[in-house]
Chain A
Amino acid sequence: MVKSGERRWLALAAAVLYVFLLAPVVIVVIAALNSGTYLRFPPEGLSLRWFQSFAHSRTMVRSFKFSVELAAIVTAIATVIGTTASLWLVRFSGRFRTVMRLMMIAPIAVPGILTGIALLIYFYAIGWGKSGGLWELVVGHTLICIPYVVLIVSAVLVRFDRSLEEAARNLGAGPLVTFRRVTLPLIKGAVISGAIFAFVTSYDEFNISLLLHGIGTVPLPIELFDYLRFSFDPTLAVAGTISIAMAVLVVLITERLVGLEALYLG
């Protein structure tokens, strides 16, 4: 343990770092609510004009809608197949366990840009890339969302007491009924939590989208990136604030359902 003097220094250092961590995030929210174009001190007053400006920007709204739609499709796919894959990984995998486990995590371990390039060239080679871009993006995003679902769901499955399922079987429930009545209700939290992570990951994804987006299929981060390169008004901050609100929700729900500590620190 740290002696009280040193502990105070540690707490102070930690506090400074937390401020550093949160500063840009808080600034974005303030910029969205500030009435002026540039953020100044003292702020020029509260206003929702940038929210209106966001709502009136057709490209922004279109990208926002597209990102939500894309994230919804990706979440649905990644959650279902990620959960079944976790079940396999924890319960039934034999010889190929280590290989499959590594493979499932690999998409977030290799640089996203590299995966994006590989997919771009591959889709061209197999003759995709003409369908407007939605399904290419779905595939790319699903690849990088599956690791999160697998990590979260298998973390809970590993601790799952198998004798509960045996008890259900013993009482006359077949394998499917056992899954529906016993297993699923007990891992529900992890599945929901994995789904939320998948949604946020897809919604914020940049690298793969940069290479795979099409003309009618521009996810919001790409739209924001293009916007940021040339202009600088707080309409963007509004998009950021929406994203931050989602993040806060995710943290709250995850802490509730799985416990952040258990998830990240094993």
Chain B
Amino acid sequence: MAEIRLRGLTKHFGEVAAVSGLTLEAASGELVALLGPSGCGKTTTLRMVAGFETPTAGRIMLGERDVTEVAPERRNCGMVFQHYALFPHLTAAQNVAFGLEMRQVSRSEIARRVAAILERVGLGGLEGRFPRQLSGGQQQRTALARALVINPSVLLLDEPLANLDAKLREEMRFYIRSLQREFGITTLYVTHDQAEALVLADRVAVMMDGVLRQFDAPEEIYHRPRSAAVAAFIGLTNLLPGRVASRSKDALVVETPAGHVRGRGVTGLGPGARAVVSIRPEHIDLDGDAAGPPDSADGPNRLRGVVAERTFLGAITDFRIDVGGGVLVRVQGRGSAAHRAGDRVVVSFAEDTAWAVPADEGRPAADRAAGER
């Protein structure tokens, strides 16, 4: 299987830079998710790899082959489109056979391979159906079969689950993952759904405004984001703006409006730097403030506050805690459901769950803190 290498890939639409200087590698057999909000350039990137858009600058390598100027039909990329793009005038089997016919494969060979792959994706018996006679999930699997049957050198998936209902989406995530592993095919997977990216990908490339912001394994992206923007985009988090007070080898202390926070942080974040501390709501403990003397509440990473809002979410309960200094801290947990709005509480979190990143230039990170999803 071929690896995918993008070198300084850039695409301008008129004045607008959809993708700027994107450099990225997907190793052979790896599944890389291109993740970002809509308009971040991830789909444009995929379309350039497929050959539907011509890069303004940069190179695209599939294996040892430079395909930057190769027509789409000669790239041998399997692609699954967002709306599947199944040919409505052809049956499921004819759709799957299309790519093989284009490759001049013999009739008997086509019949054999189409039957095999349809069986593999669980569509045996439905080969004679037209796309409109298939359910959303079945269409999705037909599209996958059509892309895989040609033995493509790479697989490109454009938001393949965006049009399925929530339950089916979850099922298909694992299905796509296992299929990809089985075929061992290098895959680019475009999505705006961070959960999807974290579950599926070997590595996640977070794109914003046409620029690659971070390219790492899912755990790294989630626990050790490189910037406030990535931290805010991935999952739910509290972002406390402040200034680095001191730094030892591992730990650092950040002065925030709500008090001092001890945590870990991005290398290179020295004393005096403007920083944002990210603390995930599920890493925060909530305790009543009534017990014990007032002083006992204070300590490293212990903040006093008042429950401003409490929302029952089923398995967990969501709190917004006013910790003073104009900071609302979001807390989610199972054990602390007893607290009510107006209760005085203490929030606390372990040192290794607070993660400091440099403050984004010119963008007030606090505004995009906890409240966002």
Chain A interface (Cβ < 8 Å from any Cβ of B): 161, 163-164, 166-174, 177, 181-182, 185-186
Among A167, A173, A177, A181, contact of B85 (Cβ-Cβ < 8 Å): A167
26 examples of A-B residue contacts, CB within 8 angstroms:
A163-B82, A163-B83, A163-B85, A164-B88, A166-B50, A166-B52, A166-B81, A167-B81, A167-B85, A168-B87, A168-B98, A170-B51, A170-B72, A170-B78, A171-B98, A171-B99, A171-B146, A171-B150, A172-B76, A172-B102, A173-B73, A173-B102, A177-B102, A185-B89, A186-B88, A186-B89
Which of the listed residues A170, A174, A177, A182 has the most CB atoms from chain B within 10 Å of its own CB? Answer: A170
In chain B, positions 67-93 with a C-beta closer than 8 Å to chain A are 71-79, 81-83, 85-89
Question: What is the distance, in angstroms, from A158's C-beta to the closest C-beta of chain B?
Answer: 17
A172-B76 Cα distance, complex, nearest whole Å = 7
On chain B, which size bracket covers the interface? 20 to 34
Q: Do A174 and B71 have beta carbons less than 8 Å apart?
A: yes
Chain B interface (Cβ < 8 Å from any Cβ of A): 50-52, 71-79, 81-83, 85-89, 98-99, 102-103, 146-147, 150
A181-B102 Cα distance, complex, nearest whole Å = 11
The verdict on A166 contacting B102 (CB below 8 Å), with A171-B146, A174-B73 known, is no
The verdict on A172 contacting B73 (CB below 8 Å), with A166-B52, A177-B102, A186-B89 known, is yes
Residues of B within 8 A of A173 (CB): 73, 98, 102
Among B51, B76, B79, contact of A167 (Cβ-Cβ < 8 Å): B79
Question: What is the distance, in angstroms, from A259's C-beta to the closest C-beta of chain B?
Answer: 16
Residues of A within 8 A of B81 (CB): 163, 166-167
The verdict on A169 contacting B88 (CB below 8 Å), with A161-B83, A163-B83 known, is no
Residues of A within 8 A of B77 (CB): 170
Nearest CB to that of B88 among chain A residues?
A186
Residues of B within 8 A of A185 (CB): 89
Among B72, B83, B103, B147, contact of A169 (Cβ-Cβ < 8 Å): B72
Among B71, B82, B102, contact of A171 (Cβ-Cβ < 8 Å): B102
Question: What is the distance, in angstroms, from A176's C-beta to the closest C-beta of chain B?
Answer: 11
- The 9 A-B residue pairs with the shortest CB-CB distance in the complex, in nearest-first order: A172-B102, A171-B99, A167-B85, A163-B85, A169-B72, A170-B79, A163-B81, A185-B89, A172-B73
Extra 11 A-B pairs, beta carbons < 8 Å, given A172-B74, A172-B99: A163-B83, A164-B85, A166-B50, A166-B79, A167-B86, A169-B72, A171-B150, A172-B76, A172-B103, A177-B102, A182-B87
Which of the listed residues B71, B72, B98 has the most CB atoms from chain A within 10 Å of its own CB? Answer: B72
A172-B83 Cα distance, complex, nearest whole Å = 19
Q: Do A164 and B73 have beta carbons less than 8 Å apart?
A: no
Among B76, B87, B99, B150, contact of A164 (Cβ-Cβ < 8 Å): B87
Residues of A within 8 A of B52 (CB): 166, 169
Q: Do B102 and A170 have beta carbons less than 8 Å apart?
A: no
A164-B81 Cα distance, complex, nearest whole Å = 9
A186-B52 Cα distance, complex, nearest whole Å = 21
Residues of B within 8 A of A170 (CB): 50-51, 72-73, 75, 77-79, 147
Residues of A within 8 A of B98 (CB): 168, 171, 173, 181
Residues of A within 8 A of B87 (CB): 164, 167-168, 182
Question: What is the distance, in angstroms, from A92's C-beta to the closest C-beta of chain B?
Answer: 15
Residues of B within 8 A of A186 (CB): 88-89
Question: What is the distance, in angstroms, from A185's C-beta to the closest C-beta of chain B?
Answer: 5
A161-B83 Cα distance, complex, nearest whole Å = 10
Nearest CB to that of B96 among chain A residues?
A171
A172-B77 Cα distance, complex, nearest whole Å = 9
Residues of A within 8 A of B85 (CB): 161, 163-164, 166-167
A265-B89 Cα distance, complex, nearest whole Å = 26
Question: What is the distance, in angstroms, from B100's C-beta to the closest C-beta of chain A?
Answer: 9
Nearest CB to that of A167 among chain B residues?
B85
A172-B74 Cα distance, complex, nearest whole Å = 6
Residues of B within 8 A of A163 (CB): 81-83, 85
Question: What is the distance, in angstroms, from B140's C-beta to the closest C-beta of chain A?
Answer: 14
A161-B85 Cα distance, complex, nearest whole Å = 8
The verdict on A172 contacting B89 (CB below 8 Å), with A163-B83, A167-B79 known, is no
Question: What is the distance, in angstroms, from A4's C-beta to the closest C-beta of chain B?
Answer: 38
